[in-house]
């Protein structure tokens, strides 16, 4: 059995398929393991900034790149040399790296995560590419799978004619935490 959450945002309807109901009783660590995700050191910033800034009970996480566990970076341009499915995987890797940064910032204490508040995703897009939301679903779906209802968030998906290092996607997030 699966749990469905229906969210209405302005003029578009987002139907988010959450993880199976039984996984809602699993811990975040158990969910990550079931998804085949191993926590590792978060990629270091590629410029003059920090990965995370805390203000009050909010963590503002910088734009994370699609760097895989083996260190390779997913590069390309949607609508030109990448498919939506490949872009989806790229956005998912961005979200995995955000989770790696969260793990570091929270010293592994997943119980401190109240919710993923906001996600902003950038997609390296050809001029006529219009499926940015489908690409950034890779990050949104991952957050839902990992955090359950606390992973459902507000979101923007933005097309860009270029991204740093030629990456396909970049995702940033705001996360509410408790002390």
Cβ contact 40:100 at 8 Å: yes
The DSSP line for 108-165 is: T-GGGEEEEEEEEEEEEB-TT---HHHHHHHHHHHHHHHHGGGG--EEEEEEES--GG
For 105, the enclosing helix (H) or strand (E) is helix 84-105
Record the pTM.
0.86
pLDDT in tens, 24-59: 578 999 999 999 999 998 778 888 999 999 999 999
Q: Where do the domains of the chain lie?
A: 49-177
Considering the domain delimited by 49-177, tell me its CATH architecture.
2-Layer Sandwich (3.30)
Please give the pLDDT value at position 2.
Answer: 36
Sign of CA dihedral 125, 97, 176, 111: positive
* 73's tokens: 């970076």
pLDDT in tens, 81-128: 999 999 999 999 999 999 999 999 999 999 999 999 999 999 999 999
């Amino acid at each position: 059995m699966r749990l469905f959450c229906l969210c209405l945002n302005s003029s578009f309807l987002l139907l988010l398929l959450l993880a199976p109901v039984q996984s809602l009783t699993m811990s975040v660590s158990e969910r990550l393991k079931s998804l085949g995700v191993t926590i590792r050191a978060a990629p270091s910033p590629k410029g003059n900034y920090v990965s995370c800034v805390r203000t009050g009970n909010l963590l503002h996480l910088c734009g994370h790149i699609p760097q895989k566990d083996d260190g390779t970076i997913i590069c390309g341009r949607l609508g030109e040399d990448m498919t939506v499915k490949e872009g989806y995987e790229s956005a998912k890797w961005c979200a995995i790296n955000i989770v790696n940064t969260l793990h570091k910032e929270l010293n592994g204490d997943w119980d401190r995560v109240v919710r993923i508040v906001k996600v902003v995703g950038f997609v390296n897009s050809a001029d006529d590419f219009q499926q940015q939301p489908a690409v950034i679903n890779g990050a949104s779906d991952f957050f839902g799978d990992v955090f359950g209802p606390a992973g459902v968030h507000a979101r923007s998906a933005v097309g860009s004619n270029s991204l740093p290092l030629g990456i396909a996607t970049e995702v940033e997030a705001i996360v509410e935490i408790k002390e």
